[in-house]
Structure 1
Amino acid sequence: MSTPLVATNSRVKEARKLSRRSVRTERRLFLADGPKAVEGALGATTHDGEPCVVEVFATPDAAQRYDDLLGGVDDVVLVDDRAMAALSDSVSPAGVVAVCRFVDVPLQQLLETSSPPLVVCADVRDPGNAGTIIRTADAVGAGGVVLTGHSVDPHNPKTVRASVGSLFHLPVAVEPDTEVAVRRVRAAGMDVLAADGAGELDLFEIDELLADDVAWLFGNEAWGLPEDVAGLADHRVRIPIAGRAESLNLSTAAAVCLYATARAHRG
């Protein structure tokens, strides 16, 4: 067994730089932290067919613990605990991290190859919310997620972890211009439904609409959808709240809307 690399090793230091969005964007590489993320990455390819995983770092203990997972990897790079702590953003690192190629797909490819419903996230900044929405969209059988405007990078370590592997098998596109994204989704034949607490339609009363080809539009965690963005949608839909709660958390609201859509499709 080779001697584990230390935190000051140049190979470890270069991988560590991928914690910064600017470096990820420049290199189109990111870190997948933990066994679930690494498992998803090992089974994934990029939109142009390349293997997602470039290399895997593991502590000696983790390499033994996850032997079934890593057995098919040609060359696992062993690192010591301090080097793993530098590569992982987890409080308690699981001991395995993969360097991966970006897995986002061009918006047009997503629209041409994915079936409704779709999810459009406008200016969703919190990586945990973004990852949870990707995971939920995957769970309900949605066709994909589009992150628009100033949304978080889908390859952010916290987003990757919150998606619990779904990032690697659900198409995700990035489009800086929200208006462009919404117009292209509508041009693809989908009704765009804006989740809006003051919406004119009640989610519980629109099963017929939900059973059609739709895309959900969700806004920022703090301020929701600006008027000009909400105005791009075909309809604004509110989630009825029977109690005294002012609103729902973004990822919770997305889950309610997406499962209502999935139920309508089954009906």
Structure 2
Amino acid sequence: MSVVPLAAGNDRLKQIRKLSRRSERSERRLFLADGPKAVEGALGVPGCVVEVFATASGADLVPSGVDVTLVDDRALASLSDSVTPAGVVALCRFVDRPLTHLLQSAPRLVAVCADVRDPGNAGTVIRTADAAGADAVVLAGTSVDLYNPKTLRAAVGSAFHLPVAVEPDPADVVRRLQAAGVTVLATAADGEVALHDAGDLLRAPTAWLFGNEAHGLPDDLAALADHRVSIPIHGRAESLNLATAAALCLYESARVRRG
């Protein structure tokens, strides 16, 4: 542990602060995990954490045996995206894996986010997929950056618990999943199968395909899926938001698999 806390003007910290930009993160394949939950999750992935920074009080939040570089409060605040920083931030290497790698493990439940732009929604889908026992998540197309601090915060450590792939082409993701023997189910208001009648489908290896918050799935992408599944609306609500729909679908899969 450093004896003298680093100040915000430290040259090394200035370089690390540049990781607030997505382009810088992508170029260097480094990001910042902010807060004790994220740092704990990152520490659980071998080779992920490069360095842990903490204030004197924040150092108590770091698991014993982990080397900590002390920084002063202002320096820590400059590394954190939080309004009220928790006192610990880790410099980490990217943890996403190629879709090919994910398919090698023969996944039985996958969540695919196609062009999901909101970091809170993407992080919540990752967290829900983790809780439901999914094997992987794919962020496809123009989906939000996995390493956006808001995405990681919404995932509450789950981005480090299960494999996440980042792929540029949602249609290609669908085709590759199908080629690997995974049934792709698209969520659609006019789906030909209701969620509560989808038990037979959900017993097979399955990937749920979720679309953009505002526009849903494009017709051509939904048409590539093996089946389109609707979530019944029993009241007067027009629809469900993305995170809620994902939770219902993933937990219905979990229920069928464990029933």
What TM-score do you get using the length of structure 2 for normalisation?
A: 0.97
Tell me, in whole angstroms, the C-alpha distance in 2 between the residues paired with 1:115 and 1:125: 25
- In the alignment, which residue of structure 2 is the partner of 1:73? 66
Q: Which one of the candidate residues 127, 151, 172 is aligned to 1:180?
A: 172
Distance in 2, Cα, partners of 1:15 & 1:164: 22
2:155 maps to 1:163: yes
Aligned partner of residue 182 in structure 1, secondary structure: helix
How far did 1:179 drift? Answer: 1.0
After TM superposition, the structure 1 = structure 2 runs for residues 73-222 of structure 1, keeping only pairs within 5 Å, are 73-74=66-67, 76-222=68-214
Per the TM alignment, residue 22 of structure 1 is displaced from its structure 2 partner at its CA by: 0.3
Separation (CA, whole Å) in 1 of partners of 2:239 and 2:212: 13
CA distance in 1, matches of 2:233, 2:146: 30
CA distance, structure 1, for counterparts of residue 255 and residue 63 of structure 2 = 38
Cα pair distance change 1:87/1:162, threshold 3 Å: same
Partner in structure 2 of residue 24 of structure 1? 25
- SS of the residue corresponding to residue 231 of structure 1 reads helix
Q: Which of 54, 57, 62 lines up with 1:58 in the alignment?
A: 54
Partner Cα separation in structure 2 for residue 190 and residue 87 of structure 1:
41
Query: Which residue of structure 2 lines up, in the alignment, with residue 235 of structure 1?
Result: 227
Deviation, structure 1 residue 71: 2.3
Gaps of 5+ in 1: 46-50
What residue in structure 2 maps to residue 11 of structure 1? 12
Offset of residue 70 of structure 1:
3.7
In 2, distance between residues paired with 1:15 and 1:247?
42
Secondary structure of the structure 1 residue equivalent to 2:101: helix
- Whether the 8 Å CA contact 1:118–1:144 is kept in 2: the answer is yes
Structure 1's 132 and 138: CA in aligned 2 closer, same or farther, altered over 3 A?
same
CA distance in 1, matches of 2:205, 2:44: 29
Whole-Å Cα distance in 2 between the matches of residues 255 and 24 of structure 1?
A: 29
- Counterpart amino acid of residue 19 in structure 1: S
Report how far residue 114 of structure 1 moved. 4.6
1:184 deviates by 0.2
| Alignment match, 1:48 | none
- 1:109-139 CA-partner distances (Å, limit 9, x unpaired): 0011152111111001111111111111111
Q: What's the TM-score, normalizing by structure 1?
A: 0.94
The one-letter amino acid paired with 1:139 is A
Preserved CA contact (<8 Å) 1:114 1:144: no
Fraction of identical pairs, as percent: 67
Cα offset for 1:105?
A: 0.5
> How many residue pairs align between the two structures?
258
Q: State the SS of the aligned residue for 1:31.
A: strand
Query: Comparing 197-206 with 53-62, which one deviates more in the overlay?
Result: 197-206
Q: Distance in 2 between matches of 1:119 and 1:248?
A: 17
How many Å separate the matches in 1 of 2:12 and 2:23? Answer: 19
Structure 2 CA distance for aligned equivalents of residues 38 and 114 of structure 1: 29
Aligned-residue RMSD, C-alpha: 1.1
Displacement after TM superposition at 1:12 (Å): 1.3
Counterpart of 1:215, as a letter, is A
Alignment of structure 1 residues 223-262 onto 2, 5 Å: 223-262=215-254
Task: Show CA shifts across 1:192-221 (max 9, x none).
Answer: 000111211110111111111111000001
